[in-house]
Chains A and B, each alone.
Chain A
């Protein structure tokens, strides 16, 4: 019984360390507000035994100048839409529409393999806030959604499928 308890405790301790291993996360989770940032989404698996065939990423509000990185073996597409926060493009024009979603499709990431999906973006000038990139992994017969947002004042630690988060630091 003691051995069992010990093993359970060890397992629990390890889970705290290795918890994020199974989640879709950003490689760099902190960046300066207002800077250009390469968002690399680390995808450690497909869904529940199946390969992932489509990767959809919804961009957080305020992110602009979105340029996704193409991947061999995947078809890249973007979805434009109304921006939540229109911004000044520096030449006196207000930009109200931009890329809201990036989709890599027609590819194949087996469940036991790892891949990265990247894009370059310009971060909003909003220091000390947290942005969330919402990710939906689609498989032939299933979906994995990483869209859970923490409640106000709480962190993503307790969520089962947290959205990849990026913390904005003050401009350095």
Chain B
């Protein structure tokens, strides 16, 4: 009933305004685009020249966190408002809107404003809150439990498939542990969505299950996609464990494990790295190898105690596979560590670095134990030396404990800010950082060389060198840069001519970091416009 009423109202409003045939235009905003305010505003208001309806709107702070969000509304009004929470910190903010006007034409855009004094207001670090959010601890603990359960379930599946050949007897014996691990991991993945959303909207942890706002925000984030993928994978694993047929369960085990491993690349530091392709591959290799290694330890231990005849064979098989897996794991881990750390000094100075050091130490200890197992204890077991079984069992048990420690360290790392993403203020004194250069071409042969440089903390300079098809600098009547992100509607900024064919814009918007779409529109003449598009990555 309510839906029909809504439709009727909307159509009536549309019919009334049908003759207008003009799309809504943003007349002004409060605060104005580029304004620096002494006091944090209570709300952001967008005023249009005709009635509009909000589809989507949000306000992001300097760290990219959503501080206000507009729910789609029914009311058609000349103004759209986003209410802000009290006590906003100093720094830059981006308010973005997407509305639909009476004729159905969507209008969207963004504005930027800052809270503080003078030009320095834009550089105030809103990156990390002064107090640690309670969500960080919740997320870390949840992730630690998730990683252990994931290793047991997905890693156990890999063990079943690669070492035990998915033999019915082995599958049956591992079924209870793996089944429980799978649903526990799935539950943790589900909670992670809510926790991430709670962190983003800074909700009160107690109220997590009262409102849906945190869950909606979490679902819309990369964590939401990753968790849903992982949950699908765990469901596959649980079904696989219940199937009697070896072939069918084998297929589902492989699918489930692959899906769970793939979910690692969808969120976290990999998803927002500077070169996503390399980071994704490294992440997948690292996660897959780690899951296999850690997930196989318990089955091997159980096999050692329960099925002593087949155990040495399984151990030998695991050992040969593990060599390859461990090498890939170390290489992938090194690649990721270098990308996130960049400066070796950061290992001892930053929180991220210290936790990473601890993780490396634990992994090294595990490697030492693994080497002892392979070269010393396993041959003794195969020769049926007395006491070898107990020694090997103890060694595996210690490896399991160390492995849990490694996973806890990994969980802590996931919530730390990698040094490569810290605000530039941490590298103050380094002077200008030279950024990437992009060579763009349009279909008429004109070219634009786009360059992004960081001039100082919280400020970036966009430089464009336009050239005609012969390579000569090309002057335009007007050049505009349109900056947009997955969660920011296009911000239009005029560029100033600094020399023949060269145009520049310096501003704080890109300090938000992440992947931005940049569209350069150069008005060559009254009737000719050249457009160039690029996707750029800005490390925070």
Query: What residues of chain A have their CB less than 8 Å away from a CB belonging to chain B?
Result: 1, 3-8, 10-12, 14-19, 21-22, 44-45, 48-49, 56, 58, 111-112, 114, 134, 136, 145, 147-148, 151-152
Please pick, from B23, B104, B527, the residue contacting A11 in the complex, using a CB distance under 8 A. Answer: B104
Report the bound CA distance from A22 to B50 in whole Å: 13
Q: Does B529 contact A (CB under 8 A)?
A: yes
List the count of A-B residue pairs having beta carbons below 8 Å apart: 93
Contact string, B87-101, partner A, CB cutoff 8 A, digits 1/0? 000000000000010
Report the bound CA distance from A111 to B73 in whole Å: 27
Q: Decide yes or no: A3 and B21 within 8 Å by CB, A14-B14, A18-B105, A147-B528 being known contacts.
A: no
Q: Once the chains bind, are A48 and B25 in contact (CB under 8 Å)?
A: yes
Q: Decide yes or no: A10 and B7 within 8 Å by CB, A1-B212, A22-B103, A49-B49 being known contacts.
A: yes
Q: Decide yes or no: A22 and B71 within 8 Å by CB, A7-B10, A11-B55 being known contacts.
A: no
Q: Does B307 contact A (CB under 8 A)?
A: no
Contacts of B216 in A (CB 8 A): 1
Q: Decide yes or no: A56 and B10 within 8 Å by CB, A3-B2, A22-B23, A111-B22 being known contacts.
A: no
Query: What residues of chain B have their CB less than 8 Å away from a CB belonging to chain A?
Result: 2-3, 6-7, 10, 14, 20-23, 25, 27, 49, 53, 55-56, 71-74, 100, 103-106, 212, 216, 443, 523, 526-529, 531
- Chain B residue nearest to A16 (CB atoms) is B104
Contacts of B74 in A (CB 8 A): 3-4, 7
Q: Once the chains bind, are A15 and B526 in contact (CB under 8 Å)?
A: no
Contacts of B527 in A (CB 8 A): 56, 58, 134, 136, 145, 147
Q: Once the chains bind, are A147 and B3 in contact (CB under 8 Å)?
A: no
Q: Once the chains bind, are B529 and A7 in contact (CB under 8 Å)?
A: no
Contacts of B528 in A (CB 8 A): 134, 147
Q: Decide yes or no: A147 and B529 within 8 Å by CB, A15-B106, A22-B103 being known contacts.
A: yes
Q: Once the chains bind, are A14 and B2 in contact (CB under 8 Å)?
A: no
Report the bound CA distance from A14 to B106 in whole Å: 10
A54, chain B: closest CB distance, angstroms: 11
Q: Once the chains bind, are B103 and A21 in contact (CB under 8 Å)?
A: yes
Contacts of A152 in B (CB 8 A): 443
- Chain A residue nearest to B48 (CB atoms) is A49
30 CB-based A-B contacts, threshold 8 Å: A3-B6, A4-B71, A4-B74, A7-B10, A7-B72, A7-B73, A8-B55, A11-B53, A15-B105, A16-B104, A18-B103, A21-B23, A21-B103, A21-B105, A22-B22, A22-B23, A22-B103, A44-B22, A45-B20, A49-B25, A56-B526, A111-B22, A134-B527, A145-B523, A145-B526, A145-B527, A145-B529, A147-B527, A148-B529, A151-B443
Report the bound CA distance from A111 to B27 in whole Å: 14
Tell me which of A4, A5, A17, A134 has the highest count of chain B C-beta atoms within 10 A of its own C-beta.
A4
A59, chain B: closest CB distance, angstroms: 10
Contacts of B10 in A (CB 8 A): 7, 10-11
Report the bound CA distance from A79 to B526 in whole Å: 14
Q: Decide yes or no: A6 and B6 within 8 Å by CB, A15-B100, A22-B23, A136-B527 being known contacts.
A: yes
B6, chain A: closest CB distance, angstroms: 6
Q: Decide yes or no: A45 and B443 within 8 Å by CB, A5-B72, A21-B105 being known contacts.
A: no
- Chain A residue nearest to B2 (CB atoms) is A3
Q: Once the chains bind, are A17 and B104 in contact (CB under 8 Å)?
A: yes
Besides the contacts A4-B72, A7-B74, A145-B526, what 16 more A-B pairs have beta carbons closer than 8 Å? A1-B71, A1-B212, A4-B73, A5-B72, A10-B6, A12-B55, A12-B100, A12-B106, A14-B14, A19-B104, A21-B103, A44-B21, A48-B49, A56-B527, A147-B529, A148-B531
B223, chain A: closest CB distance, angstroms: 20
Report the bound CA distance from A3 to B2 in whole Å: 8
Q: Once the chains bind, are A136 and B526 in contact (CB under 8 Å)?
A: yes
- Chain B residue nearest to A22 (CB atoms) is B23
